[in-house]
Structure 1
Amino acid sequence: MTALHSASASAPVSDPVAPPPVRKRHPLSWVPTLYLAQGLPFYAVALVAGQMLKSMGVPNEQIARWTGLLGLAWAFKALWSPFLELAPSRRMAVVACQVIGGACLALVALALQLPMWFALCMALLALVALASSTHDIVADGIYIASLDAREQAAYAGWQGAFFNAAKFLSLGGLLILAGELERRLGVTSAWTTVFLLLGGLMALLGLYHVRALPATPRVAAQAGQNVQQSVRAIGATLVDVIQTFFARPGIWAAILFIILFRAGEGQIQSIGPLFLRDAREVGGLGLSTSEVGWVYGTVGTGAFLAGSILGGYFTAWLGLKRAMPFLIVAMNLPNAVFWYLSEAQPESLPLIAGALGIEMFGYGFGFVGVILFIMQVLASGSYQAAHYALGTGFMQLGFVLFRTISGDIQAALGYRDFFVWVLAASVPVLVLSRFMRIGPANGEPSAA
Structure 2
Amino acid sequence: MVQKNKRAWVWIPFLYFTQGLPFVMVVTVSVIMYKKLGISNADIGLYTSWLYLPWVIKPLWSPYVDLISTKRNWFLLMQLLVSLALLGIGLSLPTNIFFVTTLACFWMAAFASATNDVASDGYYMIGLTQDKQSFFVGIRSTFYKLANVTGQGLLVILAGFLENYYGDNTKAWSITMICAAVLMLSLTITNFFVTPKYESSEAIQVQKPKGFFEVFSTFFNKKGMGIALAFILFFRLGESQLVKMAAPFFLDSVEEGGLGYSTAEVGTIYGTVGVIMLTIGGILGGVLISRDGLKKWMLPMVLSINIPNAFYALLAITKTTNIVAVVSTVVLEQFGYGFGIAGFMVYLIYIAEGASKTSHYALATGFMALGMMLPGFISGYVQEWLGYDGFFIWVVLGALPALFILRYLDYPADYGKKGANFES
Q: Give the TM-score category using the shorter length.
A: 0.7 to 0.9
Query: Over residues 90-145 of structure 1, what are the superposed CA-to-partner deviations in whole Å (9 max), with x where a residue is unaligned?
Result: 55543432222111111111221122211111111010011112223334455666
Do the aligned residues in 1 keep the contact of 2:156 with 2:263 (CA within 8 Å)? yes
Structure 1 residue 183, shift from structure 2 partner: 1.1
Answering whether residue 174 of structure 2 is matched by residue 192 of structure 1, we say yes
Cα distance change on mapping 1:133 and 1:421 into 2, 3 Å: same
Matched, 1:263 2:244: no
Residue deviations 1:285-317 (CA, integer Å, cap 9, x gap): 011011110111222232223223334455567
Q: Take 2:379 and 2:231, find their aligned partners in 1: how far apart are those partners?
A: 19
Q: Measure the CA separation in 2 of the matches of 1:150 and 1:380.
A: 13
Picking from 385, 402, 409, the partner of 1:412 is 385
Task: Give the 5 Å matches for 1:316-327.
Answer: 320-321=294-295, 323-327=297-301
Shift of 1:153: 9.0
Match of 1:227 in 2: none
- Does structure 2 retain, via aligned residues, the 8 Å contact 1:337–1:356? no
Distance change in 2, residues 1:352/1:157 (3 Å):
closer
Q: Does 1:201 align with 2:183?
A: yes
Correspondence for 1:355: 329
Matched, 1:41 2:22: yes
8 A Cα contact 2:67 2:209, kept in partner? no
| SS of aligned partner of 1:370 | helix
Structure 1 position 382, deviation (Å): 3.5
Q: Tell whether 2:108 aligns with 1:127.
A: yes
Q: Could you state the TM-score of these two structures normalised by the residue count of structure 1? A: 0.80
1:389 maps to 362
Pick from 95, 107, 110 the counterpart of residue 114 of structure 1.
Answer: 95
Which of residues 369, 373, 393 is equivalent to 1:400? 373
Contact 2:153–2:270 (Cα < 8 Å) also in 1: yes
Structure 2 equivalent of residue 84 of structure 1: 65
Distance in structure 2 (CA, Å) of the matches to 1:309 and 1:155? 8
Runs of 4+ in 1 over 6 A off after TM superposition: 25-29, 146-158, 220-223
* CA–CA distance in structure 2, aligned partners of residues 101 and 75 of structure 1: 18
- Closer/same/farther in 2, CA of residues 326 and 388 from structure 1, 3 Å limit: same
Give the whole-Å Cα distance in 2 for the aligned partners of 1:314 and 1:211. 31
Is the deviation greater in 350-359 or in 200-209?
A: 200-209
Judged with a 3 Å threshold, the aligned counterparts in structure 2 of structure 1 residues 254 and 197 are, in CA distance, closer, same or farther, namely: same
2:259 maps to 1:293: no
Alignment match, 2:417: none
Distance 1:238 1:203, change over 3 A: same
**Aligned length, in residue pairs:** 411
Contact 1:92 1:210 in 2 (8 A): no
Q: Is contact 2:26-2:106 (8 Å) kept?
A: yes
Q: Kindly provide the amino acid, as one letter, of the partner of residue 434 in structure 1.
A: R
Q: Note if contact 1:265-1:363 (Cα within 8 Å) is conserved in structure 2.
A: no
Is this contact kept in 1: 2:75–2:116, CA < 8 A? yes
| 2:46 corresponds to which of 65, 81, 84 | 65
Q: Is the contact between residue 88 and residue 217 of structure 1 (CA under 8 Å) also seen in structure 2? A: no
Match of 1:304 among 274, 278, 290: 278
Shift of 1:265: 1.0
CA RMSD across the alignment: 3.4
After TM superposition, the structure 1 = structure 2 runs for residues 274-289 of structure 1, keeping only pairs within 5 Å, are: 274-289=248-263
Q: 2: distance between equivalents of 1:202 and 1:434?
A: 41
SS in 2 for 1:286: coil
Check the 8 A contact 2:122/2:357 in 1, yes or no. no
Deviation of the 1:40 alpha carbon? 2.1
SS of alignment partner, residue 278 of structure 2: helix
Q: Which amino acid in 1 is paired with 2:277?
A: A
Give the TM-score of the pair, scaled to structure 2.
0.84
Distance 1:212 1:289, change over 3 A: same
2:161 — aligned with what? 180
Query: What one-letter code is carried by the residue in structure 1 that aligns with 2:243?
Result: Q
CA distance in 2, matches of 1:329, 1:215: 39
**Percent of counterpart pairs with the same letter?**
34
SS at match of 2:95: coil
Q: Distance in 1 between matches of 2:130 and 2:90?
A: 42
Cα deviation code 1:182-220 (max 9, x no counterpart): 112110010000001111222344455566655566749
Q: State whether residues 142 and 283 of structure 2, in contact with CA within 8 Å, keep that contact through their aligned partners in structure 1.
A: no
Alpha-carbon distance in structure 2 between the residues aligned to 1:145 and 1:299: 34
- State the secondary structure of the residue aligned to 1:44: helix
Choose 104-113 or 145-154, whichever is displaced more.
145-154
- Seen in structure 2, the aligned counterparts of structure 1 residues 130 and 308 have a Cα distance that, compared at 3 Å, is same
Question: What is residue 330 of structure 1 aligned with on the other side?
Answer: 304
